[in-house]
Structure 1
Amino acid sequence: MAEDLEFQAEQVEYTDDNIRKLSDVEHIRTRPGMYIGRLGDGSHAEDGIYVLLKEAIDNSIDEFRMNAGKRIEVDVDEQLRISIRDYGRGIPQGKMIEAVSQLNTGGKYDSKAFKKSVGMNGVGVKAVNFLSSRFEVRSYRDGKVRSACFERGILQSDETKDTEEENGTFIFFEPDETLFLNYKFHDDIVAEMLRNYTYLNSGLIIMHNGRRIASRNGLADLLKDTMSTASLYPIVHIKGEDIEIAFTHANQYGEEYHSFVNGQHTTQGGTHQSAFKEHIAKTLKDFFQKSFEFTDIRNGIVAAVAVNVEEPMFESQTKIKLGSLLMAPEGVSINKYIGDFVHTEVDNFLHKNPDVAEVILEKITSSERERKAMAGVTKLARERAKKANLHNPKLRDCRVHFSDFKNPRKEESSIFITEGDSASGSITKSRDVNTQAVFSLRGKPLNSFGLTKKVVYENEEFNLLQAALDIEDGLDSLRYNKVIVATDADVDGMHIRLLTITFFLQFFPELVRKGHVYILQTPLFRVRNRRTKIKNKAVIKAEDEKLKARNEKQKDFITRYCYSDEERQRAIEELSPDPEITRFKGLGEISPDEFAGFIGPDIRLEQVTLRQEDQVQKLLAYYMGKNTPDRQDFIINNLVIEKDILDEEE
C-alpha cells in the first residue's frame, strides 16, 4: 500500500496544456532524425549534411531527367556553405515559397510533370530550409527572377526582379551550426556523391568547385573507377528503358554491389539489389546447365544495378534502402521485372560472347573447387563457432545489433577488437552494454595476405571473429555498424592493427569499402595539475566530476588527456607550473573510470577508407607481402628519428 502511494506521488500531472501542435518548422527542427537520419559532423557519408546536399541536388537531377538542363554547378565555399545552380525549368514562381517551406507541397505528386523522380514526398528541400541557419532560393523563368531568403525556416525576404540569366533554380544553404556541431563537408565524400549522379545520368555535367564531372559509359564507368582489383573479363554493361546493369568478376572474395533507384544511391540495398543477386545467379546457372551453388557463382562478383520507376517506396526519408512493396512500371513486382530483364539480356550476351562465358565458367569452377576443398574444415569451424557463440570467452556481446532492423539504436551498435585481456578488461568495464561489444585477440593475429579463405576457418581466432561479426555470407547480416580496432599506440599495437585490417581487406573488403571499420584513438598522455597531489583520492574524484562540467579552457581544470605531442605541450603550458605528466603505454594502463570518457559520446574514431584509386591487392602486396627491396628502400628513405625528443627525455 505504501509503495502504491509513493508511486502515485511521483506521477506528473497530465492535462490539455501538455498537448501541443508543432509547426512544420518546429517539427523538423525538433525531430530531425525522422527526416535526415543522424546529424553527425560530416565525417561519414550518411551524415545529415550530405542528406541536405542530396535533397537539394535531387531536384536539379530530376530536371535533367525530364530533359530540362544538362549542367549543374555545385560549390562549397570556405565557410562550408553550399550553393547549387541548375539550368532547368525553374520552380514555378507563383508557388516558389510554398514549394520550399510547406510540407507535403511539391510538383512531383503530378506524374505528368515528374516521372520516375526520387523526390516524391514533398519533404526534402523543406528539411534543407528548416535545418539551415540561412537558406536562399531563386527561380529564373522567362526574364524574371524571384528570390527568397529564410533563416532557420522563417521567411526574411521575398522579391521579384527582371533578369537576363538563363532559366533554372539557385539554392544556397548553410547547415545550422547549433544542430550540426563542428560539421565539415569532406571533399572526397561530396565528389563521390556527384560522380554517382553522373554515372547514372550519361550526358549530365556537374561542375564541383570548378572541376568538371561527367560520365560517358554510365555504370560501366562506375565499376571501372571503383574496383580495387582487376576484372577477369571486360565489364558486361546492358541498358534497358528503365533498367541498367553492369557486372564482372575479380580475383577477390565475397560480393560487391552498387544499387540505385531513380538516381538515388541505395547504400543499404533493398528489393532491387536482392532481385539482381538472385537472378544473375539463376541466369548463369541455367546458361551453364550445371548444379552450381549460388555462392560459387557470385563469389568475386562486382556489380551495379539501377532502375527507374514511378512512385518508389523507400523505407525512410533518407532513401538509402528500397522498400519491399515497389511495383515496376509494367505493374509486375520488381523481382519479376529485374529477373526477366537479367535472364533475357545476360543469356543473349553470353551466347554472343563465348569468350566471356568461358572466363566466367572458369571462375565459378575455381570457387567451387576451393569451397569443396575446405568443406571439412568449414564444417568443423562452424560447429566450433556455434559452440563458442553460446559461451565465447573472447566475445562480450551487447544487446543492440546492426542487424536488428527495427531497433532505432542499431546505428550505434559497435564492437571493439582489442589486444589481450588487459585492454579488453578496461573497455568491458566502462562500455555501454547496450550498444558496445568487445572481442579480445590473443596477441598478434596471422598475416593473412596471400592466403586462401581456408585460413578463416582453420584459424580459430579468425573463425570466431567472423562468427562474431556474422559476415560469412556477406554484410546483409552484419551485427555491428562500427567495427573498431582498439590497440596500443606502440609498435606492437600498430602491427596488430595492420594485421587485423589486412584480414578484412583480404577476405571482407566490403566491410571497409562500406565504411564500417574504424581505429580507436586513445590518449597518449595525461597531464594533471600537481596541486591534486596534496589531496586524497576522494577529494580529487569529487573535484574532477565538478570540473569536467566546466569550460575546458578554464585555468582551474585539473586533468587533460592529450592525443598528440602538440596537445601535451598546450596542456603543460596551461597547467603550469610543474604539472604531472603520465605517458600511457597501453590501454590496460588506463583505468575503467577514465576509459569511459574515451569510448563515450566524445569518442575519437578514425575511419578506415579506400580511395577511388586504391588497388587493394597492390597495397597489400607492397605493405604486407614479402620484404621486397622497394619496401626496404621506402622504410629507409622515410625513417625519422625524433632526435630532439630523445635528447629532451635524456
Structure 2
Amino acid sequence: MSQETKYTEDNIRSLDWKEHIRMRPGMYIGKLGDGSSADDGIYILIKEVLDNSIDEYVMGAGKTIEISIQGNKVTVRDYGRGIPLGKVVDVVSKMNTGGKYDSKAFKKSVGLNGVGTKAVNALSSFFRVESTRDNKSASAEFSQGNLTDQDLLDDTSRRKGTKVSFVPDEAIFKKYKYRNEYIIKMLKNYVYLNTGLTIVFNGEKYFSENGLKDLLADNSNANDILYPIIHLKGEDIEVALTHSKTQYSEEYHSFVNGQNTTQGGTHLLAFREALVKTIREFYNKNFDASDIRKSVVSAVSIKVMEPIFESQTKTKLGSTDMGGELPTVRTYINDFLKNNLDNFLHKNPETADKIQRKILQAERERKELSGIRKLAKDRAKKASLHNKKLRDCRVHFGDIKHARNLESTLFITEGDSASGSITKSRDVNTQAVFSLKGKPLNSYGLSKKIVYENEEFNLLQAALNIEESIEDLRYNNVVIATDADVDGMHIRLLLITFFLQFFPELIKEGHLYILQTPLFRVRNKKKTIYCYSEEERRNALEELKPKPEITRFKGLGEISPDEFQHFIGDNIRLDPVMLDDNMSIEDLLSFYMGKNTPDRQEFIINNLKVELDIVEEVK
C-alpha cells in the first residue's frame, strides 16, 4: 500500500504579486520567445508601458510619445499628466492599483486590469519610473519588482509627464534581441488609431493624418488596389476597405480600443457578416459570401466600454456588447455599414461597378474550381486519416483553453532523415512536422487551381487549415526547416513563393519563419558548442583550444535526434520571413522567381558567396 502524502497548512503557499508573475509569466504576457516573433513577451512589455501613454493622449494630455531602445534598455517618455507623485511606487508595484478603475476617466481604455506595468516591473532586471507634475518630480527604481531606490524633487523645470525605463530580465527572457521591424509596425498601428499623435522612435517620427486609410495605403502596393480606399468613420467605429487585384485571400486588420486584435473576435465576425449583408442588399443579389469577401483588404476599429478579451495579451475580443446604452457589437457594426457603406456606393457608382465586377469574377473562378476543389478535399480527407506527411501535435493555435497555443509550430522539412530527426526530438504537445518529398513545384505565375491539383500543396493547405481564411490557422509558427545548402535554399524559395502567391497574409501577419540550424559543432572532452556562423565558430575555437574537434553539418539528416532537441527547444533560433515595404508581392516574386535578369544573377552570386567562403575556410 502506497504511503499517503501529508497535506497540511504547510502545503498551502501564498505567492506575492512579484513571485506569481515571475513564476507564471505566460499568464500575463503570453509566450516568452527571443524577439523573433511579433507576439514575443519583450514586445508585450513595451506595449504594456505604451498603452498607459496612449491612454493619456486619448484623455487629451500630451501629443508626443518618445521611445528609445539602446541595447536591451527600453525608455518610454510621455508628456501626459504624470502619475500622482505620492502613488508612483504603488502604481507600478501594487496589484489592483491604478487610475483606470474610475471608468469615467478611462471609459474606453485598453489596460483595464491594472496588471500591465506591474508585470513589466516584475519581469525586468532594472525598472525605473519617473513622474513630473506641478514642477515636482518623483522617481522609483526596482529590480525584479523589488524597490531599490526612490527620490522626490521638490523643484524641477522638467516638462510634466511620465518616463519609464526597463531592461527585460535575462533570467526569464533568454538570449533575446529586439527587432525594429516589429516595433515600428506596433507604433504605426498606434498612430493610425490616434490621428494627431506623434511617436518618435530612436529619432524617427511616426504620424498619421488619415487613420486606417493610411494603414491600408501603407500596407498595400498602390498598383494592386482595385479602387480608391473607402474610408468610413463614426463615433465609436472606423472602417477602411478596398479589394486587391492579385491577392486571393481576405485580409483584415482589426482593433478594439487601440489594441490590435490579431486573432479577431466578435467585432471582426460582425464586420465580415455586415459587409456581406450590405453588399447583397445594395446590388439586390444573393451573392455567395466567399465571392464578396474574396481579395478584400480592410481594417476595422471599434471602441467598447470595459471590453472582455479572451486572454491577458488582448488579441481576441470576447465582448458581445458595446457597453452603456449602446446595442450589441453585431447590431452596432451592421447598422453602421448598412447606412455608411450603402451611402458611399450610391454616391460612387464607379467604385460600386468595380466591386460588382470583382465579385462576378470571383464567382466564375469559384465555379471553375468547384469540381477540382471537391476532389481535392476528398483526397485531403482520406489522406488526413493516414497522412504520412503530417505528424501532428496535440495543441493548436486556435485552442483558446491552452495558454501555450502561441507556441504551436509546424516544421516543414524535406527528406525522411531530416523529418525523422525532428519528429523524434520535437515536443509532441506543440510541435508538428510536415514532410516534403523532394522539391515542391514552382507555383510562380500559376493560378489557385494548382493548389488543389498538386497533392503536396493541397495537403499542406489542409494541414494549416487556411483554405478559406487565415483565421482558422492551426499553427502560430510555420517554420521552413531545410538544409543550409543550395538545394535547401531553393526549397525555401519555392515554399515562400507558394505562400506569397496564394496566402500572403501568413507572411504579413508574421507566421512564417526559417529555422536556423548550426553549421558547425566544436567540442572538446568537457564542452560542446554549436555554431551558427563563422564568427561563432572562431569564438568557439578560441574558447576550447588547443585542439578541439570540428564537425561541419552538411544537412539536417546528419544531426541526431538527441542533438536536434537543442535546436528546436528553448534555444530555437528562427528568422522571420518579412515583406519589404518598398516592394509589392508581384515585384518580389518576379525578381526571385522570374527570368534570370542580370540583377537577379548578381544578387544570387553575392548571397551565395558568404556560404561558399565558410566552406572553403573549413576545408
Q: TM-score, normalised by structure 2?
A: 0.94
State which of 109, 129, 133 in structure 2 corresponds to 1:137: 129
Question: In the alignment, does 2:209 pair up with 1:220?
Answer: no
The answer to whether the aligner puts 1:125 opposite 2:94 as a matched pair is no
Distance 1:647 1:29 in 2: 47
Aligned position for 1:185: 178
Q: Which of 26, 45, 48 is residue 41 of structure 2 equivalent to?
A: 48
Show CA shifts across 1:322-341 (max 9, x none).
11444345431111111110
SS at match of 1:174: strand
Verify: 1:174 aligned to 2:153, yes or no: no
Residue 437 of structure 2: aligned partner: 442
CA distance in 1: counterparts of 2:154 and 2:478, whole angstroms: 54
Q: Which residue of 1 aligns with 2:229?
A: 235
Secondary structure at 2:100 match in 1: coil
- Structure 1, residues 141-181: CA drift from partner, whole Å, max 9, x if none? 22222223333223332424112333322222222232222
User: Larger Rg: 1 or 2?
Assistant: 1
Residue 495 of structure 2 aligns to which amino acid in structure 1?
Answer: T
**Cα RMSD over matched residues?**
2.2
Tell me if 1:195 matches 2:188: yes
User: 2-side partners of 1:317 and 1:197: how far apart?
Assistant: 19
1:59 aligns with 2:52: yes
The answer (yes or no) to whether the contact 2:292–2:359 under 8 Å persists in 1 is yes
Q: Describe the shift of the 1:646–1:345 C-alpha distance in structure 2 as closer, same or farther (beyond 3 A).
A: closer
Paired residue secondary structure (1:609) = coil
Question: Is 2:27–2:403's contact at 8 Å kept on the other side of the alignment?
Answer: no
Matched, 1:248 2:248: no
- 1:486-536, CA deviations, whole angstroms, 9 ceiling, x for partnerless residues? 11222111111110111011111111122211112222333454xxxxxxx
Q: Distance in 2 between matches of 1:643 and 1:176?
A: 38
Identity of aligned residues (%): 63
Deviations 1:356-403 (A, max 9, x none): 111111111111111111111111000000110111122222222222
The answer (yes or no) to whether the contact 2:26–2:403 under 8 Å persists in 1 is: no
Aligned to 1:164: 157
Q: Say if 1:329 and 1:502 are closer, same or farther in 2 by CA, change over 3 A.
A: farther
CA contact (8 A) 2:260 2:315 kept: yes
1:409 alignment partner AA = R
Paired amino acid for 1:384: R
Q: CA deviation at 1:198?
A: 0.6
Unpaired segments of 5 or more residues in structure 1? 530-555
Letter in structure 2 aligned against 1:392: N
1:583 alignment counterpart:
552
- The equivalent of 2:100 in structure 1 is 108
Distance 1:458 1:647 in 2: 42
SS at match of 2:566: helix
**TM-score, normalised by the number of residues in structure 1:** 0.90
Contact 2:534 2:614 in 1 (8 A): no
Decide which moves more: 133-142 or 312-321: 133-142
Letter in 2 for 1:168: G
* Secondary structure at 1:111 match in 2: coil
Contact kept, 8 Å, 1:270 with 1:321, in 2: the verdict is yes
Post-superposition offset of 1:312? 1.2
Q: Does 1:393 align with 2:362?
A: no
In the other structure, the counterpart of 2:414 is: 419
Alignment-derived partner of residue 400 in structure 2 = 405
- C-alpha distance in 2, partners of 1:643/1:596? 27
Contact 2:397/2:474 (8 A) holds in 1: yes
How many Å apart are 1:308 and its aligned residue? 1.4
Contact residue 328 and residue 337 of structure 1 kept, 8 A: no
User: d(CA) in 2 for partners of 1:174 and 1:634?
Assistant: 38
Whole-angstrom distance in 2 between the partners of 1:311 and 1:477: 27
Determine the C-alpha separation between the residues in 1 that align with 2:142 and 2:610: 55
CA drift of 1:448 comes to: 0.7
Task: Decide whether aligned partners of structure 1 residues 44 and 636 sit closer, same or farther in structure 2, where only a CA change above 3 A counts.
Answer: closer
Equivalent of residue 576 in structure 2, options 596, 604, 607: 607
- For residues 407 and 174 of structure 2, what CA distance do their matches in structure 1 show? 18
> Which deviations, in whole Å up to 9, do the C-alpha atoms of 1:197-255 show, x marking residues without a partner?
11001111112122211110100111111125721111111111111000111020111
Q: 1:432 maps to which residue?
A: 427
CA offsets per residue over residues 290-335 of structure 1, 9 Å max, x none? 2211111111111111111221111122111111444345431111
Secondary structure at 1:437 match in 2? strand
1:89 aligns with 2:58: no
Please name the residue that 1:153 is paired with: 145
Matched residue, 1:456: 451
Structure 1 SS opposite 2:571 = coil
Which residue number in structure 2 is paired with residue 546 of structure 1?
none
1:455 CA drift (Å): 0.6
- Residue in 2 that maps onto 1:521: 516
CA distance, structure 2, for counterparts of residue 320 and residue 352 of structure 1:
36
User: Which residue identity is paired with 1:218?
Assistant: G
1:544 is matched with none
Residue type matched to 1:172 in 2? S
Q: Is the 8 A contact 2:55 2:109 kept in 1?
A: yes
- Correspondence for 1:369 among 364, 377, 380: 364
1:76 touches 1:209 (CA, 8 Å); kept in 2? yes
SS in structure 2 of the partner of residue 526 of structure 1 = strand
Q: Is the 8 A contact 1:140 1:168 kept in 2?
A: yes
